[in-house]
Amino acid sequence: MTRARAAAGAARCSGLHVLADDDPRWPHGPLVQARAACVAGAAVVQLRAKHATDREALRLGHELRQMTRAHGVLFFVNDRFDLALLCEADGVHVGQEDLPPARLPAAARERLLVGRSTHTLAQARAAIGEPCDYVAFGPVFGTTSKDSPYAARGLAALAEVAALAAPRPVIAIGGIDAERARQAVAAGAAGVAVISAVAGAAAPEAAARALVAALEAGAEAEGRA
């Protein structure tokens, strides 16, 4: 991917990111979560396969690639640049325990957008110096979807990270619902990433639509629509 393509892609990373999560605790599987996201107008679907074997994750990745392409939605793979390349994903999302963006193979960095999770101001500051296309920050409101050693960071910390990272998009993570999505945008976030708000919803499509509407309303109120 050229720098110009990366810049265009980074702009497309603003909005709703829905993780298609294979945790068996959710009432809906990753394909249902992803379909809800696509139909609702999410910007990104991100495969988070912590339970599947590699072979199953690859099959799921191919299905999600086809689905997202048909809806014009970006497709990211969590943690794994190798799976992202094999699935022809648009991007890879790496956390603090994963390979750092600068250490991804050149072929991966050329072809993939890169998202980076951060949980402290120091991590966010470091991420701004890394070759990544957006910075995720949180848990802003705490989370029960993964074992996180980090307490809720709050909207003031999110605002600080958004100001530091600008013009790079900052995506708020952790305990986000529609009302909190609006608050995150008011604090300067370019979007939000969710697991439970869609995966755990009785009606995942309606939940995803509410998140998209809240983000759009928030952006309009900030004059960023």
Binding site for ligand TZP (CB under 6 A): 117, 138-139, 143, 145-146, 148, 173-176, 194-197
Instruction: Give the residue, chosen from 29, 95, 142, 154, that forms a contact with Mg ion under the rule CB under 5 A.
Output: 95
- Residue 100 sits in the site that holds Mg ion (CB under 5 A): no
Smallest separation (angstroms) from ligand TZP to the CB of 18: 9
Total binding residues for Mg ion by CB under 5 A? 3
User: CA-CA distance, 65 to 67, in Å (whole number)?
Assistant: 6
Question: SS3 breakdown of the chain: % helix, strand, coil, rounded to 5?
Answer: 45, 15, 35
Closer to Mg ion by CB, 116 or 209: give it.
Answer: 116
Alpha carbon 30 to its chain's center: 15
Other Cβ atoms within 10 Å of 78 Cβ, number: 22
How buried is residue 126: exposed, middle or buried, by Cβ count under 10 Å (0-12/13-18/19+)? middle
Partnered with residue 170 across adjacent β-strands are: 135
How distant is the alpha carbon of residue 174 from its chain centre?
Answer: 11
Residue 98 interacts with which of ligand TZP, Mg ion, none, CB < 5 to 8 Å by class: Mg ion
Query: Should residue 22 be labelled a site residue for Mg ion when binding is judged by CB under 5 A?
Result: no
Minimum distance, C-beta of residue 78 to Mg ion, in the bound complex (Å)? 6
Min dist. Cβ of residue 139 to ligand TZP (A) = 4
Structure tokens at 58: 């690859």
With respect to ligand TZP, which residue has the nearer C-beta, 69 or 142?
Answer: 142
- Alpha carbon distance 209, 192 (integer Å): 13
Q: Which does 196 bind (CB under 5 to 8 A by kind): Mg ion, ligand TZP, none?
A: ligand TZP
Q: Tell me the closest approach of the beta carbon of residue 33 to ligand TZP, in angstroms.
A: 11
Q: Which of 98, 130, 205, 216 binds Mg ion (CB under 5 A)?
A: 98
Q: Taking CB positions, which residue lies at the least distance from Mg ion? A: 95
Based on CB atoms, which residue is closest to Mg ion, 27 or 150? 150
Cα–Cα distance for residue pair 224/212, rounded to 1 Å: 15
